[in-house]
Amino acid sequence: MNFRYDTLGLARRLIQEESVSPADGNCQQIMDDFLSALGFTVEHMPFGPVKNLWASRNNGSGPLLVFAGHTDVVPPGPLEEWLHNPYGAVVEGDTLHGRGAADMKGSLAAMLTAAARFIDECPDYGGTLGFLITSDEEDKAVDGTVKVMDELQRRGEQIDYCVVGEPSSNMKLGDVIRVGRRGSLNGRLTVRGVQGHVAYPKLARNPIFEFAPALGDLVREIWDNGNDFFPATSFQISNINAGTGASNVVPGELSVDFNFRFSTESSEAELKARTEAIIGRSVSDFSIKWHLSGPPFLTERGNLIPAVQEIIWQMLNIETELSTSGGTSDGRFIAPRGVELIELGPCNATIHKVNEQTSIKELHQLSDIYERIIYSLLTDD
């Protein structure tokens, strides 16, 4: 079937592929067929179980504009709670139902049809249009976008502008675009005590008691005050585990999983040092295993942000909000390499939920916005 201008049909076809991360189903081959027909050079870059696609269409001197996204989705959850088959791509009125409708197969379809219309209408554009697609965004995110970016960097290919199709909108399409993201730093703390009988506390050292003062200090600590684009850095604990299950045994070890969502006002090194210093005030024997999911990033105002703001105003009569809210995204692997990047996509009210859905009207509008972005950056129009 020819989906050249059929945003809804293409979105439905992609949703029908079961692609729970890191699986891709057949999504990237569908995209390959579409882009190849438009004259793109398409490369498949698999790493481990992850499928990645890099496609580019060079049309002479000019900037490299890339649309980035992911074909993987989160699991559907309890199937009996869905109104429709999560992979059925059911249409009801203006609503498209299905896992990935908003996050982010609808965006992928809108990107592709925007590119098709642009190339047909403006074959003499200047520059390069690209697509960077992965099946490793929703889970570990170690063999996806970051690996493709490493390969592009090795080749000397520098992306100038990037639009990530993450569902940035809140109440209606275009009301929010993301121009950055907070960093995410994870830690697993192990506090070592001495196991013993609860009736003989002098012969034991309770790691829970040792950590308790530090817990209060960590919760009360003001890590920073944020800035104009980022809220203050936050500290959260997700898991605390200790004990043998017996009521008469002092545990010998305590483990704590925690996370920082941090602004550009704090660095990874600073957060690590301050955390270890606070814990060290009350805990005698501990260690922390750290994992940085991604540093914070903020797109500087260049050509991309003003162009997108103006396009959204002209097309939707909305003064869009510039935001850094939300969790991490693959933008963290792209923006720090000197790329002007924004995230713009459908409304996010139902993402990762049972009965995920999106507005069909807004999908068509999104495709039109994407096309105008291409025009703005790759032509003099």
321 is catalytic: no
Report the C-alpha gap between 220 and 165 in whole angstroms: 37
Cβ–Cβ contacts within 10 Å for residue 160, how many? 18
Which of the following is catalytic: 72, 160, 340, 362? Answer: 72
Q: Is the peptide bond before 22 cis (omega within 30 degrees of 0)?
A: yes
Which of the following is catalytic: 136, 137, 356, 368? Answer: 137
Q: What are phi and psi of 2, to 5 degrees?
A: -90, 115
Exposure letters 270-309 (e unless 16+ CB within 10 A, then b): ebbeebbebbeebbeebeeeeeeebbbbbbeeeebbebbb
137 is catalytic: yes
Burial of 203 (0-12, 13-18, 19+ CB in 10 A): exposed
Report the C-alpha gap between 193 and 210 in whole angstroms: 8
Catalytic residue set: 72, 137
